[in-house]
Amino acid sequence: MHCTTYSKVALKTAIAMVHSNAQVGMDAKKHFDEGTQLSSITEGSAQKLELKPQGSEVISISGFGGGNKFREIPYLYYPMKINLLFLTRHCHLFTSTTKMAGVDTGSSQKVQKPRFASVNDEKCQQILRKKDSMNTQKATKRSVKLFTNYLEEKDMPTDIENYPVKELDSVLSKFYAEARNKNGELYKTTTLKNTRYGINRYLTEKRDIDILKDPDFMKSNKMFKAMSVQLKRDGLGGIEHYPPIDEDHIKTIYSSLTQMDPVSLQHKVFYDVKCPVRSFIKYTTKLNKNCEYFFQRQKTTMNDDSVWYDASPLGHNNLGGMMPALCEKAGLVKRYTNHSLRATTVHVLNEADFAGRHIMSVTGHKSENSLKTYTGFTSDRTLHNM
C-alpha cells in the first residue's frame, strides 16, 4: 500500500456488500481513496465478517478543515471481496465481485470502454478475405478450380492445402507444362500467369506459403519461366486488345435497334451512342421496382405493359454476350465484345482531340499510357481509302 504525508486525502463514502473468504456477507460503509485506489472498512465490520488481519501499517491522514495537521492511524490488511462498489459522490461504477488483496490492491478499477478491440481468428480471416475485390476473389476461385480439375484428371489428391511443400512444387511444375484450355490448346502467357497468381493468393491465405518467392518452389518457378518463353515464341505471349467498333458498323448496329420489346429496349440502352437519354428514360419506366439491378431479366409473359422486367437481375452470360448478340442481330460477320464499347469510347474521344485526362475521367483509366492501347487503331474505311 502506498500513502503520502504531503497532500490531503479526501475519501468518498458508499454503502456496499462486502464478502469474506468464509462467504459471510454484509452491507458495510466503505471509504475509497481515488488517489491510491484503496478502499477500507471499519474494524467492527471486519470482526463481524470474521476477517483476520494479515498485516498492518501506519498511515497519515488529515480531516476536512484540518489544515496541515495529520494524524497517524494503524491500518490492518484483510482479505475480502466487494460485491459491487458504487461511489455516490460522482456515480462511479466499479467491477463486481472483485477479489481484494490486503485492504485493497487497486483491483477495483472504474469500468471503462476498452480502447482496443478483441478480434478472433475467424474475424481475422474474414478481414483478409475482404481485402481483395470481388473480381480478385473470383479470379482466385477460377485459378484454384483449374488446378484442382487438373489434379482430379491426373488421379491425384485435390486437397492442395495438405500437400507437402516438396511434392507441391513438383506438381506445380507439371501443371505449368501441361495446362490446357477446354479445347486442348495452350493458354496464353497472361492466362497462365494470372492462374499462378490466383493459386498463390489461395495458398498464402490457407498455408502462409508463397509459391512465387519461397526457395522451396524453385523447380516450379523455373518451369513457369520456361513455359512463358515457349508461349511467346508460339505467338501466345502478347495481350490482345479488343479493337473499337468500326464507324460503318456503329451505324449498322444502331439502325437495327428498336424500343418495341424488352430485349430490344435493353439492347438499345446498352449500346446507344446517339440518343441515350430518350432510351434511358423509357427503360427506367419499364423496370421492376422490386429489383435494385439496372439490367433485369425480361418477363416471359407481358400481363402489365407498365413493367417489362422481372424482379431478378439479368444473367451473367446474357449480359456478357450483349455485344455479340447485337452483332448477330445486325447481320455483321465481325463479332465485337462488350469491351469493344470501351475501346470505341476512347477511340472516338481521342479522334475528337479530347485531352487524355478528360478521357480518363470517363473511362476510369489511371494512366494516360494505358489509353495508347485503344488509340492506335485504323478504321476499315480509312484503310480502304489509303
pLDDT of residue 374: 66
pLDDT of residue 169: 96
Q: Which residues contact 317 (CB under 8 A, 6 or more apart)?
A: none
- Render pLDDT for 294-337 as a digit per residue (tens, 0 to 9): 999 888 887 777 888 988 998 888 888 888 888 888 888 888 88
Residue 63 has pLDDT above 90, yes or no: no
CA–CA distances in Å: residue 98 to residues 123, 298, 340 = 31, 66, 71
Most confident by average pLDDT, 82-86, 221-225, 241-245, 342-346: 221-225
Given pLDDT bands bounded at 50, 70 and 90, which one contains residue 64? very low
In whole angstroms, give the CA distance from residue 199 to residue 141. Answer: 8
Given pLDDT bands bounded at 50, 70 and 90, which one contains residue 215? very high
In whole angstroms, give the CA distance from residue 191 to residue 176. Answer: 11
Are 133 and 192 a contacting pair, CB within 8 Å?
no
Are 267 and 329 a contacting pair, CB within 8 Å?
yes
Query: H or E stretch including 270?
Result: helix 262-271
DSSP string, 343-381: HHHHHHHHHTT--HHHHHHHH--S-GGGGHHHH----HH
Given pLDDT bands bounded at 50, 70 and 90, which one contains residue 86? very low
Given pLDDT bands bounded at 50, 70 and 90, which one contains residue 186? very high
For residue 249, the tally of other CB atoms under 10 A from its CB is: 19
| Lowest model confidence (mean pLDDT) among 75-79, 111-115, 124-128, 279-283 | 75-79
- Render pLDDT for 217-227 as a digit per residue (tens, 0 to 9): 999 999 999 99
- Tally helices (H) and strands (E) across the chain: 15, 11
pLDDT of residue 195: 95
**155: its cell numbers:** 488421379
374 or 212, which is more confident? 212
Are 173 and 189 a contacting pair, CB within 8 Å?
no
Given pLDDT bands bounded at 50, 70 and 90, which one contains residue 104? very low
Given pLDDT bands bounded at 50, 70 and 90, which one contains residue 205? confident
178 or 37, which is more confident? 178
pLDDT of residue 277: 84
Q: If you search the block for the grid coordinates 486488345, which residue do you land on? A: 241
What mean pLDDT value characterizes the chain? 75
Indicate the pTM of the whole model. Answer: 0.42
Given pLDDT bands bounded at 50, 70 and 90, which one contains residue 349? confident
